Amino acid sequence: MKTQRGDPREAWAENSTVMVSDPERSPPELRESHLRARSASLPGIFLFTEPAEKGGCRNVMGLVTRADEAAKSSDDAVGASPLRLGFDCEKSSTPAASTPLYHHHHLPLLPLTPFIRHNGPLGLQGLQLHSTRAFQTTALVREEAQTETKSQPFHKNPDPELVSSPRLERKLLRQGISPIGSRRRRAALQSSANIPFEQLPYQCFQEARKVLIADREEKLKEMTAMAEKIARLQAIPTEEAGGEQVRKSKLRAMELHLEHLKVLADVNDPLVKKRFEDGQGDMNKPIYRYLADRKWREYRRKILVQRITQMKVIPDVLPHCDPVADTKLYFGRNAVQPGEFVNSQLSMVAPKLDVQLFERGEKLVTIAVVDPDIPNVEKDGFDYKMHYLAVNIPISATSTKVDLTKLSTESQVVLPWVPPVAQKGSPYHRLSVFIMEQKESKPLDFAAVKARETDRDNLLLRTLQARYHLKAISAHLFRTQWDETMADVMKQIGYPDVDMELRRKRPEALPYKRRNPSTFR
């Protein structure tokens, strides 16, 4: 312990011994205090004086957690706060009995914290000076003990915000609960303090948040001004606005700019990013639709465009497709990646789709599943076949699930699902799924469409696109080929020529490469 020369604490340091409140090593008086501390209610630190061997007195410190014990010893006891305790640094000429130093209230009080060693054999290791709870009763301790007894281990009841083991993650997924955030983040939260995001004790972080808050206030002012402009434009007559078409174009541009300002107001907010990464974002808000669109375009959209172009779905089925919506395809519980092979037994039932829009409002779409690889032996080529066709299907940013087996046959399904098949010896078949937006999201005449589109063979999707003014906004792709269950599937659906095998015709040799027997004579 280091003290300055002339410091009154130096005298105390030379004749003092700091002891942990151990009932076996402490003096009898301190031992009684230790026993009294077991049933204490408030934390505190007591200092006692006892006779030294060479005269004077030495100070002994014990841990006592009941302030009223000190109050019984002295009428002028110092308050119960453990940080306001003091000690007598002067040597006494006559040995004094072991009494608390609260009797020396007329002497100057010096802080006790500088004399507590945090390491070493005589230090108070693990001593907690700051109490986390100011009051505690025996009944509350008993209740906590019962709660701890009833609580289940972590491996039996894992927390989705803290689980980091793959085995426990699979256990949660079987229960229908998805882990929150990334595994690295959940592992870090296990050993970190649960401090609210706004109260993180980092000065640079808090200063950065002030800058973001000021920027958000500016964007809110711009949003208010733009909303007032839109209201004024809507209030003026059509003639003053320059006509109905000019008015609509101006309103459309202003509304798009207002949506952009809403995104800029929250795009840098850490709490917004955290909610989005945890899967808790509200897709009704523009900021979460923007973040979802950006994340989709970083990887998933690139994979989709690569597959439909490399496998020649574009331009074999449609001449052009610019995906603006994320489409996921499921057969049962199995998610199918773009271009993946699907077992023929799984494709007996129509798939489920998850179409995520990134724009506000509801749209009516047409969903078509086309196979452009039907072998035609007579013309030595391939034909088209429409495996599924449905119209007037509503989707939105919040309503994304589409089960093709549950659509209405009276107002939506034009051509029901037919399982895809591939004959033995034929190349794989590309089953293309297209999401087509209907013009101005207006419903089509279902009766007229169903009466006209009756033949699924050689029904071209580009013909439907031109006939009903459709626009492709998303696509997906899966493949099928001959496998061990394909013959059973063909028999179940009544497909003819189940036992027929297609073989490639051997090309004839060129005339100059033909063998001439006369030349061998």
CA distance 277 to 288: 10
| pLDDT of res. 516 | 64
Residue 188's H or E segment, with its range, is helix 183-190
Averaged pLDDT of the chain? 75
Say if residue 8 is preceded by a cis peptide, omega within 30 of 0: no
Q: Are 315 and 452 in contact (CB under 8 A)?
A: no
Confidence tier at 86 by pLDDT (50, 70, 90): very low
Residue 192's H or E segment, with its range, is none
Above 50 in pLDDT, residue 193?
yes
CA distance 360 to 267: 18
For helices 286-298 and 270-277, angle between their N-to-C axes, nearest 10 degrees? 60
How is residue 157 annotated by DSSP?
S
Mean pLDDT of 381-407: 93
Buried b (16+ CB within 10 A) or exposed e, 414-423: bbebbbbbbb
| pLDDT of res. 517 | 59
Render 415-453 in DSSP notation, one character per residue.
E--------BTSPPEEEEEEEEEPGGGPPP-HHHHHHH-
List pLDDT tens digits, range 337-352.
Answer: 999 999 999 999 999 9
Listed ranges 12-26, 82-96, 393-407; the one with the highest mean pLDDT: 393-407
Q: State the sign of the Cα–Cα–Cα–Cα dihedral 170, 172, 173, 174.
A: positive
Alpha helix positions (H), 299-415? 300-310, 313-316
Decide: helix, strand or coil at residue 293. helix
Close Cβ partners of 286 (under 8 Å, ≥ 6 residues apart):
259, 262, 263, 360
70 φ, ψ to 5°?
A: -70, -35
Residue 378's H or E segment, with its range, is none
Residue 390's H or E segment, with its range, is strand 381-395
CA distance 338 to 299: 13
How is residue 509 annotated by DSSP?
P
Nearest to 196 by CA among 285, 287, 133, 270: 270
Above 80 in pLDDT, residue 483?
yes
CA-CA-CA-CA torsion for 82, 83, 85, 86, nearest 10 degrees? Answer: 160
Q: State the sign of the Cα–Cα–Cα–Cα dihedral 307, 309, 313, 319.
A: positive
Above 90 in pLDDT, residue 77?
no
Decide: helix, strand or coil at residue 414. strand
Q: Are 162 and 190 in contact (CB under 8 A)?
A: yes
Per DSSP bridges, beta strands 334-336 and 326-331 are antiparallel
Residue 135 to residues 72, 77, 395: CA-CA distances in angstroms? 20, 20, 57
Of 51-55, 297-301, 513-517, which gets the smallest average pLDDT? 51-55
CA distance 129 to 113: 9
HSE of 29 in the Cβ direction (CA atoms, 13 Å)? 15
Per DSSP bridges, beta strands 340-341 and 471-480 are parallel
Residue entry with tokens 């011994």? 17
Of 10-24, 183-197, 225-239, 390-404, which gets the smallest average pLDDT? 10-24
Render 128-156 in DSSP notation, one character per residue.
--S-S-S---HHHHHHHHHHHHHSPPTTT
CA-CA-CA-CA torsion for 448, 452, 457, 461, nearest 10 degrees? Answer: -60
CA distance 272 to 329: 28
| pLDDT of res. 83 | 37
| pLDDT of res. 518 | 63
Dig out the tokens for 497 from the structure: 């020529």
| pLDDT of res. 188 | 81
Confidence tier at 521 by pLDDT (50, 70, 90): low
